[in-house]
Amino acid sequence: MPRPGITAMIPCYNEADCVERAYREIRSELVSYDDVELLFIDDGSTDGTLEAIKGFAAEDPLVKYISFARNFGLEAAFSAGFKYASKPWTVQFDADLQSPPHEMHRLVQKVLEGYDVVFAVREDRRDPWYRRLGTRGHQMIASRWLGIELPLGASVFRIVRTSVARKVVDSRLSTPYFIATAPLLGARYTTLPTSHRPRVDGQGKWNLRKLFGHALELFVGFSFRPLVWLNGLAAAMVTAGIVILGLASAGRLGPAEVAAASLVTGLVTLTLLAVAARYLVRVMRVQAIGVPRYQIREANIPIRADEALYGHETPYAIADIWENAS
Ligand code: UDP
Ligand code: MG
């Protein structure tokens, strides 16, 4: 079996309690390959996560880091990670180590069978019931009802051919949704069951609002069926409305029935409007494709000037910038 070059990518948002352990565990698994790096993406942490990462980097030449100017979200973080990963394969980890780093070897073995992506599927997922139900529910709706192809149960623990990952995150089909974009581009992918453990330190970053928004991104970003269905429903309502009007004017329906019918029609109209608005947001996002999804405040690797908040074509640290400015 060849020993491939691997970037271990670790997005971190306020993970001061976990990041040291993550560094040690991931590093100890990673060094069994010859050509490796650890790439931390600090997604605008405010709790000392970046300072910890800089501490590792000062001692360890394998550690690279990028730090965002604010919290831009996990999708932005892994998009930057795939862009700046320098090895042919990238394994994405979670800083809380819910997906155990030693499982990476099985992902590597699997991908070398001839895939571009292997997604880990958490066996016996150790997250709250509403998270498990939410993932299963929205992925089922997406794949069964909306015809969206995606690896069911895929988590963000995955190994990806870095060049393909860059295509996926660059394509920005109006919404960053990695697991639905990879199949759309023709990436060869499969899934692999891996073990999972509860978060021990720090806080999970997902609340119900974020989860709901994420599901809607998938539905609206990759399918027009909700709009088609609602238009069908609207047409049915118009027909029903005409019939009700006819019946009312013939004196066969009272004011209470007519009022109830108009309430239902009103509700359908509002739903249709809300869904149409989501699609409008989608169009606006496509138009905003030239706008960068994140800005980098500091890093210890060269960063494209348009993605660096201070515009330098560096490697740079914030201290250098202040020195140069004064
Ligand atoms: N994360 C991030 N930016 C965010 C939210 C999360 O980089 O805005 C990182 C987080 O630090 C962790 C990973 O994404 O390394 C997964 O987050 P979390 O453990 O909260 O997700 P869950 O395991 O609950 O799905
Ligand atoms: Mg987690």
Q: Which of 43, 45, 74 to mutate to test the pocket of ligand 1 (most atoms within 8 A of CB)?
A: 74
Residues contacting 77, CB < 8 A, separation 6+: 11, 12, 13, 41, 43, 68, 294
Q: What is the distance between the alpha carbons of residues 91 and 108, in angstroms, rounded to a whole number?
A: 9
- DSSP string across 135-169: HHHHHHIIIIIS-----TTEEEEEEEEHHHHHHHH
- Residue 94 Cβ inside 6 Å of ligand 1? The answer reads yes
Distance CA 134, CA 125 (A): 13
Buried b (16+ CB within 10 A) or exposed e, 227-249: eeebeeeeeebeeeeeebeeeee
User: 101 exposed, middle or buried (CB, 10 Å; 0-12, 13-18, 19+)?
Assistant: buried
Using one digit for the tens of pLDDT, what is the confidence trace for 48-102? 999 999 999 999 999 999 999 999 999 999 999 999 999 999 999 999 999 999 9
Can you give the pLDDT at residue 17?
94
Is the per-residue pLDDT at 159 higher than 90? Answer: yes
Q: Give, for ligand 1, the residue of 46, 65, 94, 197 to mutate: max count of ligand atoms closer than 8 Å to Cβ.
A: 94
The two tokens of residue 30 are 């990673």
Ligand 1 pocket, residue 204 CB under 6 Å: yes
Torsion angle of C-alpha atoms 155, 180, 184, 178, degrees rounded to 10 = -60
pLDDT higher than 80, residue 326: no
Kindly state if the Cβ of 13 falls inside 6 Å of ligand 1.
yes
DSSP letters, 4-33, are: --EEEEEEESS-TTTHHHHHHHHHHHHTTS
**Mean pLDDT, residues 226-250:** 89
| Ligand 1 pocket mutation pick from 12, 13, 41, 133 by most atoms within 8 angstroms of CB | 13
Average pLDDT, the chain: 90
Taking residues 222-241, what's their average pLDDT?
A: 89
pTM (2 d.p.): 0.89
Distance 50 CA to ligand 1 centre (A): 15
CA of 152 to the centre of ligand 2 (A): 18
d(CA 106, CA 194) in angstroms, rounded, equals: 9
pLDDT band at 319 (very low <50, low <70, confident <90, very high): very low
In terms of Cα–Cα distance, which of 79, 77, 85, 27 is closest to 50? 77
State if residue 198 touches ligand 1 by the CB under 6 angstroms criterion.
Answer: no
- Contacts with 126 (C-beta within 8 Å, 6 or more apart), sequence order: 98, 196, 197, 198
98 CA distance to ligand 1 centroid (A)?
10
Is the shortest distance between the CB of 43 and ligand 1 below 6 Å?
A: yes
Half-sphere exposure in the Cβ direction for 309 (13 Å, CA): 15
HSE (CB half, 13 Å, CA atoms) of 269?
A: 8
Q: CA-to-CA distance for 233 and 111, rounded, in angstroms?
A: 45
**Which are the contacts of 75, defined by CB distance < 8 A and separation ≥ 6?**
176, 177, 178, 293
pLDDT in tens, 162-213: 999 999 998 866 567 899 999 999 999 999 999 999 988 888 888 888 888 8
The answer to whether residues 172 and 289 touch, using CB atoms and an 8 Å cutoff, is yes
Looking at ligand 1, which atom is closest to the CA of residue 13?
11
pLDDT of residue 292: 76
CA distance to 99, 135, 207, per residue, from 215 (Å): 22, 8, 13
Distance 188 CA to ligand 1 centre (A): 26
179-183, 227-231, 279-283: range with highest mean pLDDT: 179-183
pLDDT at 12: 98
Ligand 1 centre and the CA of 156: distance in Å? Answer: 10
Percentage of the chain with pLDDT > 90?
A: 61
| Nearest alpha carbon to residue 67 among 144, 15, 1 | 15
Instruction: Return the pLDDT at 171.
Output: 82
State whether the beta carbon of 96 lies less than 6 angstroms from ligand 1: yes
pLDDT value of residue 3: 73
Band (pLDDT 50/70/90 cuts) for residue 245 is confident
Residue of 263 and 172 predicted with greater confidence: 263
Using CA atoms, how far apart are residues 19 and 53, in angstroms rounded to an integer? 8
Please state, in angstroms and rounded to a whole number, the distance separating the CA atoms of residues 202 and 95.
10
The rounded Å distance from CA 202 to ligand 1 centre is 10
Question: Which atom of ligand 1 is the closest one to the Cα of 71?
Answer: 8
Mean pLDDT of the region 119-125 = 94
Report pLDDT for 174: 57
Under 8 Å CB-to-CB from 54, ≥6 apart: which residues? 65
pLDDT band at residue 234, thresholds of 50, 70 and 90? confident
Q: Ligand 1 atom 19: the closest Cα is on which residue?
A: 204
Token readout for 211 is 């989860």
Distances (CA, A) of 47 to 10, 22, 50, 223, 298: 17, 16, 8, 39, 16
* Residue 81 in contact with ligand 1 by CB distance below 6 A: no
